[in-house]
Every structure is written in C-alpha cells, then in structure tokens.
Structure 1
Amino acid sequence: MNTKGMNRTIEEPESSVRFFEGEKRLVLTGLLGFLLAGVCAVWVALYGGPVSPDGNISKAFSFNAALGIFLLSTAAIAPFSAMRARGRAFFRWSYILLALYSYFAETVQNFRGVNPRFVKEGTLYDEIIGNIFALVALLLVLYYLFFAIQFFRKKAYLRRPALVVGIRYAMIAVMLSFMAGIWISVNNGRTVGIHGNIIVLHGLGFHALQALPLVAWLSDRTSFSKGARTKWIHLTGIAYVLGLIALGWQTYLGRGIFEWSTLSFLICACFLISLAAGAQVLRKPTDPNGVPRSL
C-alpha cells in the first residue's frame, strides 16, 4: 500500500507535464516564421519568385515556413525532455537567436537578389552574411544534438514512456535530416547525379518530428495493451527511419524517388508500413479513462 502511494506521488508531477509548457517564446519565434512566409507568399503572388541576379523569394517562403514548423514541433515536445530549467533556457535562447538570424539571412538576402547559402559574385557584406549563416547552420545541428540526447535519458522515459519512445525515433530521423542538410552544403546544391534530390530526404526527416510523436501520443490514449502499444510505436518508428536510410542511398546513387528500382520499392514499403501502423492506432478506441497510460 505504501509502495502504491509512493508511486502515485512520483507519477503525478510527471503526468502534469503538457505540450508547449514553458515554451511561449519558442512558439512565438516559430509563428514569426509563418508570418515571414506569408509576406513572401504575397510577394511571389504579385511579382513572382526570382529576384535578379540570384535570389528567389519562393525559397525564402519554403525556408521560413519549414523553420517555423520545426520550431513549433520542438516547442511542443521540449517539456518532455527532462532537462533542468537552466539547460532548457540555454537551449531555448540559443535556438531563438540562431533562428532569428536564419530568418534574417534567408529573407533579406533573397529579397536583395543574393543566394544566402551559395554566394556568387557578391559583395564583402554578402560573403560575411553567408559565412555566418553556415556557422549558424552548424550550431543549429550541434544544439539540437544536445537536445535530442536528453530524450534518451531514463528520466525522460519515466515521464511519458510511450511518447518519449516515439520522440526518440523522431530524433534519429531529425539527425538524418541534418546530415542531409550538411550534404547539401558540401555538395554545393541539392542535386545528385541526374535525378537525385537531397531536399526530399531533408524534408521527410524533419516531418518525423510531427508524425512519430503523434502516433506515440495517440497510442498512449487508446485501449491497446501495453505490448500492443509498444509494438505499434516501434514498428512506426523503425519503418520510418529505414525508409529515410533507403531514400538516402537512392539519392546518393543519383536516382529520383519515383524511379523504379528495388530501392524505390523498399522506400515505398517502409513508409507505407509506417503509415499503416499509424493508421492502426487511429482505428483503436480511446481509453475510456481518457488519460495516458504508461508502457
């Protein structure tokens, strides 16, 4: 009886953790990305995307929207990382500052007709902005690696086991996406071979940050047994990550995602399995108690 009481005391503060809790500033920074994307969308609708000599407002639109989604997704799961207040503050403010610079470089430079990543015949100012942007991109990866590691600690797992397992797979996918981003920089562009496009791998990796935690969160609220919830979360995550790895290899070979090959079949199979596993969770009735269950 005393043991149950002790467990209840430990679990109550953990179950009180909510999405976005304590991350108002990071959320606002993410919403800024949508605002800037909206401005870019209006410009493209009125004047078109290209800006002479080497800018493109369409790229600024997609970048700002993508970074905004990424920041909002990060803000949603940050409370479950089990980081101490000081660690979360360090990560939060570091990412806010890095994101603000990224918005500035991507938006302003494209409006000036300059590619912020690959400057061609730009001024000294443009070269400086581009070099700082490259450093910022590297720091975004390193700080997020620090953030991702927190979800592999036992303390994070004990807070919300099912959800954190899903987040762990998402973190692996995000790291693959960051590697694809570095690949784009080293490759001086997104194209590999005749049909390979690294940006597909880059984008799908980041979308795991929305898809996999969502499946885990939904499974945590269903009437699935403990073993079944574990199975569906792992199946969804493993299939998604394997799909990304196969897609990366397909891209490395210079082949397009729709080019017929054994790898293309494997990529489709992996993502279909991941999608089907997630759909299976949606079909299961919600736990009548309406509260998350632990694995």
Structure 2
Amino acid sequence: MNQLALEAASGALRLYKQETWLMLTGLLGFLLAGICGVWVLLHGGPVSPDGDVSKAFSFNAALGIFILSTASILPVSGMRPRSQSIYRCSYIPLVLFSYFAETVQHFRGVDPRFVQNGSSFDHVISTIFPAVALLLVVFYLILGAQYFRKRVIDAHPELGLGIRYAMIAVLVSFAAGIWISVNAGRYTGIGGNIIWLHGLGFHALQAIPLVAWLSMRKSVNAAVKPIIIHISGLAYIFGLIAIGWQTLLGYSVAEWSLLPILAGSCFLVAFTPVIWLISQSNALAEPYNRTQYTRNL
C-alpha cells in the first residue's frame, strides 16, 4: 500500500510538472477556498444584501479540484505541445475570472450570477460570467474530444478508456450547470437540488481514471482490465442518470426511494473495482513498458 502511494505521488508529480501553470491555478482555488472558509467560521456565510461567502468557498474548492484533475490528464490527451499551450493559455484566464467574480462579488454582498439592484460594475460582471462559463464548457468539449481519438487509446489503453468515461460524466455536469442557469437557481420541485448532479459528474475525473491507473499498476490479466474500467465507468454514468432523473422529478436525492437507492448502488459498483484492485499484488512492469509510459507522458 505504501509502495502504491509512493508510485501515485511520483506519477502525479511527473504529470503536474508538465502542467505547472494549470496546477498553480488549481491550487489558487484551494487558497481562495481557505480564505472564504476562515471568513465563514468567523463571520458566517451571508453578506448583505445577496452575497454568501460559503458559496464562494464551495465554488473555489470545486473549481480547484477540477483544474488539478485537468492538469493530470492533459499530458495524455494526444495534443501537440503547441495545441496544449494554446489550450492552457486560453483556459487559465477564464478560470481566473471565475475565481474573481465568485469571490469578490460574494464578499461585496452581490450574487455574481443574478444581480438585483446592483451597480453598473455588478451588472457587467453578471453579464460576462455566463459567457465565461460557456467558454469553459466549449474549451473542455474540445479537450474531451481528443480522448476519443484512436491514437490516445493506442498510447494509453487503460487511461484513455477511463478518461473517456470521465468526459461523458463531465458532459452531464455541464448540462446540469446549464440547467441551473436556465432555472435561475439550484433548487427545483419539492426538494430537488441540481447541484448534486453538477458536482458528482465532475468527480468522475478523479474516480474513473483512478480505476484505470490502478489496473495498470496491478498484476491483472490484460483482458480483464478494460472490463473493469467499463464496469466502473458505466456504473458511474448510470448513477448520474438516476440522480438526474430524481432531480428532474423535483425530489431530493436523500430520500429513501427507488432512484436514490439505485444511484447509490451504481456508485457502489463503480468504486468496488478500486477496493479489489488495491488488494491485488503489484505488477512487475517490464523496463520497456515503464520507459514507454514515461515517454508518452
């Protein structure tokens, strides 16, 4: 287990070293979340008239995790160095503006998305914010499409397959985000909360590639590896569908009914391969394969 943790840390450092600026952008989200968290502990979340620093805390932390996850998978996208550079230089400013709008506006007592009786500055920010969010989606769709190319699977069979499922889940999250904007809020129906669907979809970026990475590091039959990843990926997506259906009906995902129980069962199935893979012995990687993997990264 300790050896596995060391290998994971070493692999993560190799990947992040290639995407230093994206990594720093993600860490900035955690720094801002920490500042917001301290404020909430000392003064509470609400800021008159319409701000809520607790929302800025959750937003910055979630976006930080999202960017760090993106930094870890970008090197295996198959994009050429110039294309990666263009993508990085385009995406980071959009993320920085999102941090700024969400944090500064909530501290000023303004909802950055839905301004009521605000200043001209507030209305400008609320107008730009949806456009920035849309660009974040568009650029990520471009990135996601790269993993469905044959050359990515040829170079990284397990990781490529896992990231493909993660990207499908991210599409569900983006759809939920658009739903929140159209709905003018996260709540729907009697007890529905769209934010659960929005957040859990993004966490597929950590969950499913983890299964793929573990399958590479463990002594598992080569024919079994894609099956494990398919099971994990499909179960995760079916879990999201169940949550989305429950939310669309306007009910809470915390109630004891068919769809939430089905969603919980799907997520349990999705994470079961992690437990099973950890229990397996480490693979004896051939020098050539290890070198090839490092070169591809």
**TM-score between both structures, scaled by the size of structure 2:** 0.90
Structure 1 residue 18: Cα displacement: 4.6
Q: Which residue of 2 aligns with 1:138?
A: 134
Whether 2:21 is the aligned partner of 1:25: answer: yes
The separation in 2 between residues aligned to 1:267 and 1:208, in whole angstroms, is 14
**TM-score between both structures, scaled by the size of structure 1:** 0.91
SS of the equivalent of 1:118 reads: coil
SS of the equivalent of 1:144 reads: helix
The separation in 2 between residues aligned to 1:108 and 1:55, in whole angstroms, is 10
The separation in 1 between residues aligned to 2:16 and 2:27, in whole angstroms, is 13
- Structure 1 residues 3-42: Cα deviation after superposition (integer angstroms, max 9, x where no partner): xxxxxxxxxxxx9x95225211111111111111111111
Question: In the alignment, residue 84 of structure 1 is paired with which amino acid?
Answer: R
Q: Which residue of 2 aligns with 1:245?
A: 241
Question: Please, what is the CA RMSD of the aligned residues?
Answer: 1.8
Q: Which residue of 1 aligns with 2:116?
A: 120
Which of 11, 27, 39 in structure 1 is aligned with 2:35?
A: 39
How many residue pairs match? The answer is 279
- Structure 1 residues 236-289: Cα deviation after superposition (integer angstroms, max 9, x where no partner): 000001110111011000111122222222212211111212221222111033
Question: In the alignment, residue 101 of structure 1 is paired with which amino acid?
Answer: F
Question: In the alignment, residue 76 of structure 1 is paired with which amino acid?
Answer: S
Which of 58, 61, 66 in structure 1 is aligned with 2:62?
A: 66
The separation in 2 between residues aligned to 1:224 and 1:183, in whole angstroms, is 41
SS of the equivalent of 1:178 reads: helix
| Structure 2, unaligned runs of 5 or more | 1-10
SS of the equivalent of 1:19 reads: helix
Equivalent pair of 1:174/1:205 in contact (CA under 8 Å): yes
Equivalent pair of 1:54/1:114 in contact (CA under 8 Å): yes
Q: Which residue of 1 aligns with 2:189?
A: 193
Moved more, 40-49 or 244-253: 40-49
Question: In the alignment, residue 275 of structure 1 is paired with which amino acid?
Answer: F
Question: In the alignment, residue 55 of structure 1 is paired with which amino acid?
Answer: G
Question: In the alignment, residue 48 of structure 1 is paired with which amino acid?
Answer: G
| Structure 1, unaligned runs of 5 or more | 1-14
Q: Which residue of 2 aligns with 1:255?
A: 251
Question: In the alignment, residue 256 of structure 1 is paired with which amino acid?
Answer: S
Which of 138, 143, 146 in structure 2 is aligned with 1:147?
A: 143
The separation in 2 between residues aligned to 1:282 and 1:276, in whole angstroms, is 10
State, as a whole percentage, how many aligned pairs show the same letter: 58
Whether 2:105 is the aligned partner of 1:109: answer: yes
The separation in 2 between residues aligned to 1:48 and 1:264, in whole angstroms, is 31
